[in-house]
Structure 1
Amino acid sequence: MGGTRRGRETGTLGKLMALLDLVALADHPMRFTDILSFSNQPRGTLHRQLSHLVEEGLLEIDRDGRYLPGIRLLSLASRSWERNEFRAVAEPHLSLLHTQTGETVHLGVLRGAEVIYLDKVEGRQSVRMYSQIGNASPAYCTGVGKAALSMLDDIGLEARLAGLKFHAYTEHTHRDVADLLADIAAIRTRGYAFDREEHESGICCVAAPIHSDDGNMLAGVSVTGPAYRVTSEKLQEWAPLVRAAAASIMQDMHSRLGPKR
């Protein structure tokens, strides 16, 4: 998260957005002193910036003086989600994939070195997992993220991974770029990616890449479930279904969102 913010901390808007990211993406509500320690801003400047964000409803302060995402963010997120054409195009294909497998289906788009979840269809037997619409996860340890990364050429992939710090979420998480690149090479060959408890212990998935005709949009679709139920054999069985869903989404994207003549 920090690396993403530092890249755009120039100008007033960039600094405000970095500050908004810091508070909104924190695991717990932050006090002023917490924010000050992470923000690299003078105390007076930071106080003014936070005040502006609170006045605009993008942040709120609770009774204990902690900063929280504001209700206006929920309104903006809801409106964005409703109007997202890519999500609307993908929705029927996600529903079909859910019907075919009975497990949780995700749609995510690559942003930098992270994947942002745009949609999620819960499995018939809901399992608690990190993924929620709007959440960001590292691309290097998620099926959707690795599938999307596999569509980059070598130069683009190197640029996307430059300076990336690998965090060991589980014992199965990739520890360095070499391991990740070997995995991506295999994904390119077979056309789909696996997440075998790399981001969350006990959670596995199979994912396929989605990309726009011009390559400006890289995304992925996946089927996810608990490792005790979703075996390696089951993931292999679902791989053609996930690839078919990705192909159908891309076909509809070309028809509905492609250049108008």
Structure 2
Amino acid sequence: MTAANEHVGTGTLGKAIDVLEAVAAAPEPLRFTDLLKLVDQPRGTLHRQISNLIEEGLLSVRRDNSYELGLTLLKLASRAWSGNQFRAIAEPHLKRLHELTGETVHLGVLRGVEVIYLDKVESRQAVRMYSQIGNASPVYCTGVGKAALSALPDAELEKRLAAIVFKRHTETTLPDLAALRGEIAEIRASGLAFDRQEHEVGIHCVAAPIHSRDRDFVAGVSATAPAYRISMEQLTAWGPLVRETAAAIMEDMAARLGPKA
């Protein structure tokens, strides 16, 4: 499990999720000994968890006895994505922002101290980015993540901040909590968050927060582009469009899902 992941399962289901998250986050298939190091479970418990997950189709075993996510998870993920109300509400607004900027647009939801990419509209230009639907990224070095943090009530924000473990991804990654607090204050004042090549070298973005009326649900939307083609000045000029997109999504959420959306 990564240090940034807040989930540590205690019940049976939680322990199973820990295993699935470790397998999903690994850059290559894991063996049992690898999982034993990554999840905080006794050997016997881990054996049972893996056996149960394989039986349910949530994990599969490769020829070299390593593990990968099973097809049942793919089917569940597909159904969750296609049936997600928030994504469906946001989709036309994401497409409009994409049409106005011509660049990649992301929709991300805050989970713990990570942001999960729920939807993505690709740039008209072929540019390789880390982000994929379902992927998780740290909140402190992504525009969507910082935007979502800024929408949290103060008490909840402090809990999330306390759980962050800072890791330098690029030379411009925010180094510590003081720097992040300063940016959050700026985001709350302007309604805009920036990723200045903080997660990926050569990729930057401008983002705006999305939240429900009672702020028990927070997310973010961003326009993302390669630094060699789009300057920070152009990115900043897109700020009002990104804010308008976030506002339109929130308005539709309130109209279709009610105040508890």
- Opposite residue 122 of structure 1, the aligned amino acid is E
In the other structure, the counterpart of 1:74 is 74
Matched position secondary structure for 1:162: helix
Question: Counterpart in 2 of 1:145?
Answer: 145
* Unmatched segments (≥5 aa) in structure 2: none
1:4 and 1:49 map into 2 onto residues whose CA distance is: 23
- 2:177 aligned with 1:171, yes or no? no
SS at match of 2:238: helix
Structure 1, residues 8-59: CA drift from partner, whole Å, max 9, x if none?
Answer: 4211111111111111221211011111122232222211210110110000
Residue pair 1:5, 1:18 contacting (<8 A) in 2 also: no
Local SS of the residue matching 2:195: strand
Residue 21 of structure 1 corresponds to which residue in structure 2?
A: 21
Q: State the partner residue of 1:83.
A: 83
Give the alignment's TM-score, normalised by structure 2.
0.96
**How many equivalent pairs are there?**
260
Aligned-partner residue type, residue 255 of structure 1: A
> CA separation in 2, counterparts of 1:201 and 1:3?
22
Residue 94 of structure 1 corresponds to which residue in structure 2? Answer: 94
1:220 corresponding residue in structure 2: 220
Quote the Cα distance in structure 2 between the aligned partners of 1:169 and 1:143.
Answer: 14
Which residue is 1:34 aligned to? 34
Are the counterparts in 2 of residues 23 and 68 from structure 1 also a CA contact under 8 Å?
yes
Determine the structure 2 residue equivalent to 1:158. 158
Summarize deviations over 1:121-149 as a string: whole Å, max 9, x none.
00000211111000000011000010111
Structure 1 stretch 142-151 or stretch 16-25: which is displaced more?
16-25
Cα distance in 2, alignment partners of residues 77 and 155 from structure 1? 32
**RMSD between aligned residues:** 1.4
**Superposed CA offset, 1:202-261 (max 9, x none):** 00000011001121110010000100112111111100000010010011001111159x
Matches within 5 A, 1:55-70: 55-70=55-70
AA aligned to 1:96 is R
Unaligned ranges ≥5, structure 1: none
Tell me the residue number matched to 1:198. 198
Indicate whether 1:49 and 2:49 are aligned: yes
- Matches of 1:99 and 1:206 in 2, distance apart? 16
**Which secondary structure does the structure 2 equivalent of 1:249 belong to?**
helix
- The answer to whether the 8 Å contact 2:141/2:173 transfers is yes
Task: Name the aligned partner's letter for residue 79 of structure 1.
Answer: R
Aligned to 2:18, the other structure's residue is in SS state helix
Moved more, 60-69 or 44-53: 44-53
CA-CA distance at 1:5 after TM superposition: 5.7
Q: Distance in 1 between matches of 2:171 and 2:4?
A: 25
TM-score by structure 1 length?
0.96
